[in-house]
Amino acid sequence: MRLKRVYDERSPDDGVRVLVDRVWPRGIGRAQAAIDEWLRDLGPSTELRKWFNHDPGRWEEFKARYRAELSAPEQRLRLEHLRDLARKQPLTILYGAKDREHNQAVVIAEEIEAG
Q: How confident is the model at residue 13 (pLDDT cuts 50, 70, 90)?
A: very high
Structural domains of the chain, count? 1
Give the whole-angstrom CA distance, residue 8 versus residue 33. Answer: 9
Query: 11 is in which domain, residue-wise?
Result: 2-114
pLDDT given for residue 73 in this prediction: 97
| Mean pLDDT (the chain, rounded) | 96
**What is the predicted pLDDT for the residue at 37?**
97
Q: How many residues does the chain have?
A: 115
For residue range 21-67, what is the model confidence (pLDDT) as tens digits? 999 999 999 999 999 999 999 999 999 999 999 999 999 999 999 99
Give dist(CA 25, CA 59) in Å, integer. 21
What whole-number distance in Å separates Cα of residue 75 and Cα of residue 73? 5
Q: What is the pTM of this model?
A: 0.94
pLDDT category of residue 20 using cuts at 50, 70 and 90: very high
